[in-house]
């Protein structure tokens, strides 16, 4: 079959808009297209949900959302823009970032109207992810020193209401609403090729699907896909075994289909964190992380777009999470490298910590805590942490730490420079005693003297670990038109009939990630792409 649609082959199904990948971006694209009254087909390689269903379900939103107002939190477009300009940089053009901010309150209302549950209970302490009592919190670096100097810290992490990681509570209402509105969702269907006409317009897709396989096969495939997603995300050997069985079922039972897209195809197939070859090629420093996503985050959507002339960017940008909270007591500790030197304001967001550890410190870092911080941290695990956070923190404290009565002794136990560590602590305490600002810019509320021992060094190095892994996701993707989400060529020209959203595309979070910014961008870019695909001129061909 040739690259262009000149072979006269029949279509197995037709729609105005075809969505490839059905997580947050795909679900929002499908809903936005249906809001325009067009016919929509969505496909997903696995069970639907993608990385969204595995996520914490955080939406980064502000500028005065209904949830913020209910919690008594004052926010404005200007404040949110001031913060995000520092985090986002030039990932998108200024007009796109401002649109994202101005539309933020309406985005939360839109999600709520489709059944996504939110709650205005404000978290009273800084954490990487709140427990089941709290659903609005500082999910980024808003209250870190470098940012609060420019704009007051405002909580904008809107955690979808649900126990534990609540990504499913975001995905399921979107999926249910889309199907109730008439979106035809085909699970266990993998796009293999974009079909284009003689002028280069994308007119449909080719795919392999199990929809005609025996019911028992489809049920087995669904169970294996769920297992691969979770707990497979935490235990890579299990994921590899289940993925081999999934591929075997695909080879035996999948059939080839062609789906016509009269107005456009929207690629929402996630990033490429599961593509180890691409990680080695584009971001080799980040090869030791936990793949935060499904095995469908293999870059296939990016690859499909590039086959039609798209160009990719920011492919070396990977978000590596090294959270030190909960417990919040560790915000008053020090993060040091092999030389015993501090490397960052400890109140920064975990991805900023991970970035500094990987790119500037060879992947190695430790938390230095004195006896009082360790006592407080153990108490806080009972009140601040969810069960999985408690398990990870306990493993860090017990199995991945060393303790000694003096700084010199504990430094030697882990193999870092003892003189450097002593000098770092002396300089830190001296600044406090002399009333000076923290050298790393940490806000005063998190700064305290390093007191008496025993001292503990907790290993937060970025390396493969089942007990204390480093979750990672890719932030790069294909370039899209800022106004429409249309995929563009290297010269900036839109590829007719092709759109992209979520982590398949460069978006709001492609320079720097804070919790909720990727999912918020999936909603923003998914709605944009779905709307513009639906409003595109229909291809007159049959």
What pLDDT does 465 receive? Answer: 85
Least confident of 105-109, 421-425, 467-471: 467-471
**Average pLDDT, integer, range 346-364:** 97
Provide the β-strand partners of residue 206.
193, 258
Rounded to an integer, what is the distance from CA 234 to the centroid of its chain?
A: 16
Q: What is the pLDDT of residues 400-450, one digit of tens each?
A: 999 999 999 999 999 999 999 999 999 999 999 999 999 999 999 999 999
**Average pLDDT, integer, range 521-531:** 98
Q: What is the pLDDT of residues 139-159, one digit of tens each?
A: 999 999 999 999 999 999 999
Provide the β-strand partners of residue 291.
472
- 288 vs 380, which has greater pLDDT? 380
Q: Map residue 203 onto helix, strand or coil.
A: strand
Q: What is the pLDDT of residues 57-77, one digit of tens each?
A: 999 999 999 999 999 999 999
Quickly count: other Cβ atoms within 10 Å of residue 214's Cβ: 10
Residues whose CB is less than 8 angstroms from the CB of residue 460 and which lie 6 or more positions away in sequence, other chains included: 322, 324, 335, 353, 357, 365, 366, 367, 396, 468
Q: What is the pLDDT of residues 452-467, one digit of tens each?
A: 999 999 999 999 888 8
CA distance 96 to 528: 11
Look at residue 1 and tell me whether its pLDDT is greater than 70.
no
Look at residue 110 and tell me whether its pLDDT is greater than 80.
yes
- 540 vs 136, which has greater pLDDT? 136
Give how far Cα 269 sits from Cα of 49, 304, 419, 482, 490, Å.
Answer: 10, 10, 50, 19, 21
Provide the β-strand partners of residue 457.
368, 402
What pLDDT does 53 receive? Answer: 97
Domains, the chain, with CATH or none = 13-54+166-319+480-535 (3.50.50.60), 58-159 (no CATH), 322-459 (3.90.700.10)
Rounded to an integer, what is the distance from CA 540 to the centroid of its chain?
A: 38
Q: What is the pLDDT of residues 306-339, one digit of tens each?
A: 999 999 999 999 999 999 999 999 999 999 999 9
**Average pLDDT, integer, range 229-242:** 94
Q: Which two tokens stand for residue 76?
A: 């404005």
Q: What is the pLDDT of residues 206-235, one digit of tens each?
A: 999 999 999 999 999 999 999 999 999 999
What pLDDT does 288 receive? Answer: 84
CA distance 91 to 503: 13
Look at residue 2 and tell me whether its pLDDT is greater than 80.
no
Rounded to an integer, what is the distance from CA 224 to the centroid of its chain?
A: 23
Q: Which residues of 366-403 are buried (b: 16+ CB within 10 A; e: fewer)?
A: bbbbbeebbeebeebbeebbbeebbebbeebbeebbbb
% helix / strand / coil in the chain, to the nearest 5? 40, 20, 45
Q: pLDDT band at residue 541, thresholds of 50, 70 and 90? A: low
**Mean per-residue pLDDT over the chain, rounded:** 96
CA distance 68 to 77: 13
DSSP annotation string for 222-239? HHHHHHHHTTTTT-HHHH
């Amino acid at each position: 079959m040739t690259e262009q649609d000149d072979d006269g082959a029949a279509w197995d199904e037709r729609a105005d808009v075809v969505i490839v990948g059905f997580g947050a971006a795909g679900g929002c694209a499908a809903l936005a297209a249906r809001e325009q009254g067009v016919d929509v087909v969505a496909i997903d390689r696995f069970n639907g949900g993608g990385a969204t269903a595995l996520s914490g379900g955080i939406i980064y939103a502000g500028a005065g959302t209904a949830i913020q107002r209910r919690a008594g939190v004052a926010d404005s477009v200007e404040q949110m823009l001031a913060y995000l300009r520092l985090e986002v940089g030039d990932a998108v053009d200024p007009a796109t970032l401002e649109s994202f901010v101005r539309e933020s309150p309406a985005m939360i209302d839109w999600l709520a109207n489709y059944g996504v549950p939110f709650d205005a209970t404000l978290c009273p302490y800084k954490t990487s992810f709140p427990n089941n009592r709290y659903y609005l919190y500082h999910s980024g670096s808003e209250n870190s020193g470098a940012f609060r100097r420019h704009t007051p810290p405002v909580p904008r992490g809107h955690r979808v209401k649900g126990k534990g990681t609540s990504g499913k509570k975001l995905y399921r209402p979107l999926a249910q609403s889309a199907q109730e509105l008439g979106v035809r969702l085909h699970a266990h269907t993998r796009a293999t090729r974009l079909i284009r006409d003689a002028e280069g317009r994308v007119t449909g897709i080719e795919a392999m699907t199990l929809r005609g396989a025996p019911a028992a096969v489809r049920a087995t495939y669904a169970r294996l896909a769920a297992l691969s997603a979770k707990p497979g995300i935490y235990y890579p050997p299990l994921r590899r075994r289940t993925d081999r069985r999934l591929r075997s079922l695909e080879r035996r039972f999948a059939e080839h289909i062609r789906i016509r897209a009269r107005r456009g195809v929207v690629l929402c197939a996630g990033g490429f964190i599961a593509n180890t070859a691409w990680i080695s090629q584009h971001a080799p420093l980040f090869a030791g992380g936990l793949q935060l996503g499904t095995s469908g985050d293999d870059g296939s959507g990016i690859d499909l777009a590039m086959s039609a002339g798209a160009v990719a960017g920011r492919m070396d940008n990977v978000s590596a999470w090294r959270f030190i909270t909960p417990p919040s007591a560790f915000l008053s500790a020090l993060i040091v490298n092999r030389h015993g030197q501090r490397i960052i304001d400890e109140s920064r967001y975990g991805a900023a910590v991970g970035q500094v550890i990987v790119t500037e410190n060879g992947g190695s870092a430790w938390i230095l805590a004195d006896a009082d911080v360790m006592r407080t941290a153990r108490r806080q695990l009972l009140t601040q942490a969810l069960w999985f956070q408690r398990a990870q923190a306990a493993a860090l404290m017990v199995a991945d730490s060393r303790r000694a009565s003096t700084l010199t002794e504990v430094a030697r136990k882990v193999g870092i420079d003892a003189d450097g560590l002593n000098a770092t602590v002396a300089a830190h305490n001296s600044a406090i005693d002399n009333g000076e600002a923290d050298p790393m810019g940490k806000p005063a509320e998190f700064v305290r003297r390093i007191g008496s021992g025993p001292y503990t060094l907790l290993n937060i190095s970025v390396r493969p670990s089942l007990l204390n892994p480093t979750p990672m996701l890719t932030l790069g993707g294909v370039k899209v038109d800022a106004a429409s989400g249309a995929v563009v060529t290297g010269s900036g020209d839109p590829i007719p009939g092709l759109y992209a959203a979520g982590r398949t595309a460069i978006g709001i979070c492609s320079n720097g990630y804070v919790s909720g910014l990727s999912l918020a961008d999936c909603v923003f870019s998914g709605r944009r792409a779905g709307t513009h695909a639906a409003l595109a001129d229909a291809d007159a061909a049959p």
